[in-house]
Structure 1
């Protein structure tokens, strides 16, 4: 399967990587619940009249800058992002509220080089009989505490998403936006691009021990059933250096 193009990419890609053990958990939320957490230059992208809040745990491996081998330490680590979906001048993308990661090097590089809200966390993943147990506990004092402890697995076969579907809207995104991190005001806006094969998603179910990942946003999803998809890993993933757009 060929890679989907990065529509806003310019020049050669900068970093290659692999993603695996992805779980997409999504909840519809009112636009007003997220508007104050997203830079004013960005328009919240909606489906069915709602904004969508995502919690996405996964594992990143074989991370390497262009022209180099995979990095032995920071080249493999677990990551967990909290996100929503936005547009800028008609270009759809992802806005990350937080990106917890188990690699201190990746956290600092992501913050300094990409202006993304990376945070240090203690994380683990175990897999048995098709079920994945994923835990993450934030230990970074630059943001409020947040934790995820879940066990999940696919409940059906994986398939490509259909254009125009909610699943396609939530996952087939090849641009990301970032802005100045605290204590600076979010004045500048940056655009990054990724390229990878289209997702193949399977319906999924989970058991939640604890999920406070959205609490720093003032959004409580406890007791609310999410839309869940387990994703097959995509190989490879290419990312482009961010560029300023506002």
Structure 2
């Protein structure tokens, strides 16, 4: 079953607004049997032409505010680094996160407690110098497997809008997420799921060139180091509406 995102904001009362910037999608093809154990039984691993995909995505989240309320200084900006794959339930495709390392302690607490997402405390910087972006992260979450990340990339020429049926569309145009709790090991065995809905305009993607990549965030989950260079898509700044998670 195909799913097309709405071209207007979702009905109902959105929970908050965010702005995503300095974002890089880095993806590798992965054998489905490697990722299947990291999803709950109710979810189906989403495949593109029979192939599963694993992503690592650093970005900056800013202008965070509940709808109808002003942003709170010191609580409206963070850097994030997530490890993801893709899943479906009842024909609705979404993102399944293995981990989301982030810098804002209160934000990590809120995401774990209120949204049941596997956020982890981390130190992270992400800055641009002369057109090149540099992200550095170190996981600090107590009890979590250690992980570090360091990457430099330069966004390049604009790419055409991703069309349904293409790999770029499959990897980036995701308007739902699934979660089963903040502890991935327990979440995999859970029958309880939540599905969250996002709204944003289609991604404006760009070519990207890596000049440095050192990462153990994938390996921290017990997965092997991805083989070969990643498929890269840099992304322009995007405003996002976030809806509450609904138990399904």
Counterparts in 2 of 1:43 and 1:239: CA distance versus 1, 3 Å: same
Deviations 1:20-45 (A, max 9, x none): 00000000001111111111110000
Match for 2:202 among 170, 185, 198? 198
In structure 2, C-alpha distance between the alignment counterparts of 1:81 and 1:240, rounded to whole Å: 19
Match for 1:238 among 232, 241, 246? 241
In structure 2, C-alpha distance between the alignment counterparts of 1:89 and 1:77, rounded to whole Å: 33
Question: What is residue 135 of structure 1 aligned with on the other side?
Answer: 136
Question: What is residue 174 of structure 1 aligned with on the other side?
Answer: 175
In structure 2, C-alpha distance between the alignment counterparts of 1:95 and 1:6, rounded to whole Å: 23
How far the C-alpha of 1:9 sits from its partner, in A, is: 5.1
How far the C-alpha of 1:203 sits from its partner, in A, is: 1.4
- Please state if 1:46 is matched with 2:50: no
In structure 2, C-alpha distance between the alignment counterparts of 1:8 and 1:38, rounded to whole Å: 29
In structure 1, C-alpha distance between the alignment counterparts of 2:158 and 2:11, rounded to whole Å: 36
- Structure 2 unaligned blocks of 5 or more: none
How far the C-alpha of 1:209 sits from its partner, in A, is: 4.4
Counterparts in 2 of 1:206 and 1:157: CA distance versus 1, 3 Å: same
In structure 2, C-alpha distance between the alignment counterparts of 1:78 and 1:102, rounded to whole Å: 6
Match for 2:193 among 189, 194, 200? 189
With 7-16 and 54-63 compared, the bigger mean Cα shift is at 7-16
Is the CA contact (8 Å cut-off) linking 1:61 and 1:75 kept in structure 2? Answer: yes
Alignment of 1:16-35 (within 5 A): 16-35=17-36
Question: What is residue 68 of structure 1 aligned with on the other side?
Answer: 69
How far the C-alpha of 1:164 sits from its partner, in A, is: 1.1
Is the CA contact (8 Å cut-off) linking 2:21 and 2:61 kept in structure 1? Answer: yes
How far the C-alpha of 1:48 sits from its partner, in A, is: 2.2
- Please state if 1:211 is matched with 2:212: no
In structure 1, C-alpha distance between the alignment counterparts of 2:140 and 2:128, rounded to whole Å: 24
Counterparts in 2 of 1:89 and 1:6: CA distance versus 1, 3 Å: farther
In structure 2, C-alpha distance between the alignment counterparts of 1:114 and 1:19, rounded to whole Å: 19
How far the C-alpha of 1:150 sits from its partner, in A, is: 0.5
Is the CA contact (8 Å cut-off) linking 2:158 and 2:204 kept in structure 1? Answer: no
Deviations 1:134-155 (A, max 9, x none): 1111000232111110000123
Give the aligned length.
241
Question: What is residue 103 of structure 2 aligned with on the other side?
Answer: 102
Is the CA contact (8 Å cut-off) linking 1:6 and 1:194 kept in structure 2? Answer: no
SS across alignment from 1:36: helix
In structure 1, C-alpha distance between the alignment counterparts of 2:227 and 2:48, rounded to whole Å: 22
How far the C-alpha of 1:180 sits from its partner, in A, is: 2.6
Counterparts in 2 of 1:7 and 1:170: CA distance versus 1, 3 Å: farther
Deviations 1:162-211 (A, max 9, x none): 22110000000100001033375523100000001100111111133421
